[in-house]
Structure 1
Amino acid sequence: MRRSVVIGTGSALPRRAVSNAELTGIVDTSDEWIVERTGISNRYIASDDETTSSLATDAARRAIAAAGIEARSIDLIVLATATPDQTFPASATRVQHNLGCNGGIAFDVAAVCSGFLYALGVADSMLRSGMANRALVIGAETFSRILDWEDRTTCVLFGDGAGAVVLEAREQSGDKPRGVLTTRLHADGAHNELLFVDGGPSTTGTVGKVRMKGREVFRHAVVNLAEVLKEVIEEEGLSTSDIDWLVPHQANARILDATARKLSLPPEKVVMTVGQHANTSAASVPLALDTAVRDGRIREGDLVMLEAMGGGFTWGASLIRM
């Protein structure tokens, strides 16, 4: 069977790190308040010369280097972002040009924090169908551009960054084939008002700012994520004990803990980077994945579950054998 195999991962962060202590000079908050409610101690904020496409390009180059391939061999780029450089064209086309692999397929996907899972699902389908052979799947955000820095309930939660994976279509067989095994995606537009940006080209003509009702989002996140994870596990005829690693969307340490408990997954199997990176929206899953690959936790052959939920609501999960 033709499957999409992960052959390289990469990530990129802005130069500037911003601690909780620094935020106390901007909004009425404290390190204790932020850590207790979110588990976040630090985040990275993009400077004026750092954009979504520049961070995406840096992450992509590192993933390509890890894969040991040449950039011109990439024939598909799917970039997940809620903060593109421009309304159009797609930021993916800028990344494509930066890498020198012009002529293939390149487009953006907008599903906010679930964006990387959506992008992965699309790229996997295109590789399996034969439409492309090598794909870059990227999650990249400069969320700091759409934060209300006077709202302490949201501005402390988010950061900027990018993560990428290189997928290669390969024929796989046997009991433990490598690659993307199963992906399940969902959306429910009934909850738009719980997590949204109050602007847009066709409504206000402005970029807008993030607005969120945190308690309600937390409740939906724990339920939806646990359900979609069970969907994927059952689809593959596995149990949670078969999972080597859970790489979740890094929204909030309490959500990660609650989801792991619902699935009876031990904390040591959960990759958690939210403390240092905060919530980087579509970038958080690939950023965490790359962190765990590079520090040696995740190795070839490991069964890895990715999951995320974001505004829309959108949510999903993907099971990959590395």
Structure 2
Amino acid sequence: MGPPPVHLLGTGTALPGEPVGNDRLAERLGIPSAWVETFIGTRTRHFAVDLDTGRARWTLEDLCTDAADRALANAGADPSEVDFIVLATATPDALMPSTAALLADRLGIQGAAAYQLQSGCGGAVQAFAVARALLSLGPAGLGLVVGGDVCSKHLDLGQDFRDLPPAALVNYVLFGDGAGAAVVSGRPRPGARAALTHLEHRLAGLGLPPGQRVEWFGAADLRSGTAPRTPVREDYKAVEQRVPELARELRDALLTAADWSPESVDYLLPPQLGGRMTERITSELGRGLEWEPVSCVAETGNTGNALVLHQLDRLLPLLTPAQRALVLSVESSKWIRAGFTVEASDA
């Protein structure tokens, strides 16, 4: 008998400001709008920094607080009921204090345990795994799973983008900022929307170089000249090759673990990379099947740790009793395959 399910009581999301379309982004970067649409396939994204001035308008703490407030309202829960927070991010506001602790303070949750995971886009699945372990110790309580990233703060908006090769421009058009949250419990409650059942979060890139690397450095590094000139690097060709393979492996592993036939699945929440690649992966994974895809990346951009939570927020209103969903996430930082199965609640 496997670990008990995690019951989803409510979800919420947050995106900073108005959506930035390809024409606006292309004008700012001095690149053809058609290149963005053809190469990446993402139509809009949201930025926590002002595109013209580079000034920060929202922090990760701000976005996570908004998403958590909406999740709690969606679940009909009060912050005082929350026993713990698990927050996943690759871009915390500071090394200390943790954004998780700041979030607990903003929500007014005295005495809650606040955990923060440093992770890539598979982090929301990792956060659900930690929440499941905590709920197994106290299933009657409530937990708050949060994921979010503010990737735009790592991008240099003052440079001449006309000199950058396409591989370097990818990070300026692929990513967006945002946060998502879910209220979870270890026992079914009135109003529970769905249950997260079989879960997988495994390293799948032993011996392979990372597909993405995000640097951090301090004042001493800047003075000595040893700070990396490129804070965000991505091997997009490796991502194109490896992610579809790992997505297929993950799909098959989850179906086997849940003892589900492919025909019994109603919804597919595919890996969210860019709009174009996500479309290709979705088409291949569901070929010959009537799986309805639930995707957000073409509208939100790649929001990292928020992606799975944004997809869940779109999925839950669609689910009817006895329906099922596969949630797949592939993290290219060190090739991690992460996902879970979802079953609609009977109520």
TM-score normalised by length of structure 2: 0.83
Deviation of residue 102 (structure 1)? 2.2
Show the counterpart of 2:305: 282
SS of match in other structure, 1:16: coil
Question: Is 2:177 the counterpart of 1:169?
Answer: no
Show the counterpart of 1:240: 262
Show the counterpart of 2:216: 199
Farther off after superposition, 30-39 or 107-116: 30-39
1:316 maps to a residue whose letter is A
Show the counterpart of 1:160: 177
Show the counterpart of 2:60: 52
Which runs of 5 or more structure 1 residues have no equivalent in the other structure?
Answer: none
Show the counterpart of 2:324: 303
2:63 maps to a residue whose letter is L
SS of match in other structure, 1:101: coil
Deviations 1:127-181 (A, max 9, x none): 1232772111111111111135543222100000111111111169xxxx95221
Show the counterpart of 2:196: 180
Deviations 1:272-309 (A, max 9, x none): 2222101001111111221343xx42345432222212
Which runs of 5 or more structure 2 residues have no equivalent in the other structure?
Answer: 50-55, 162-167
Instruction: Select which of 18, 30, 33 maps to 2:32.
Output: 30
- Counterpart CA distance in 2 for 1:242 and 1:283 is 27
Farther off after superposition, 160-169 or 196-205: 196-205
Farther off after superposition, 72-81 or 240-249: 240-249
Deviation of residue 254 (structure 1)? 3.4
CA contact (8 A) 2:210 2:335 kept: no
Deviations 1:191-250 (A, max 9, x none): 444311133469947696211110111211111111012101101111222222122332
2:25 maps to a residue whose letter is L
Show the counterpart of 1:313: 335
CA contact (8 A) 1:29 1:152 kept: no
Deviations 1:84-129 (A, max 9, x none): 0111222111111111112121111122111111111111122123
Show the counterpart of 2:165: none
- Counterpart CA distance in 1 for 2:65 and 2:169 is 31
Show the counterpart of 1:95: 103
- Counterpart CA distance in 2 for 1:299 and 1:50 is 36
Question: Is 2:282 the counterpart of 1:260?
Answer: yes
Cα RMSD, aligned residues only: 2.5
Instruction: Select which of 142, 148, 152 maps to 1:134.
Output: 142
**Matched positions, count:** 316
1:228–1:166: structure 2 CA closer, same or farther, 3 Å change rule? Answer: same
- Counterpart CA distance in 2 for 1:7 and 1:203 is 46
SS of match in other structure, 1:29: coil
SS of match in other structure, 2:114: strand
- Counterpart CA distance in 2 for 1:215 and 1:121 is 30
SS of match in other structure, 1:84: coil
- Counterpart CA distance in 2 for 1:95 and 1:103 is 13
CA contact (8 A) 2:265 2:291 kept: no
1:235–1:203: structure 2 CA closer, same or farther, 3 Å change rule? Answer: farther
- Counterpart CA distance in 1 for 2:183 and 2:220 is 36
Show the counterpart of 1:84: 92
Higher alpha-carbon Rg:
2
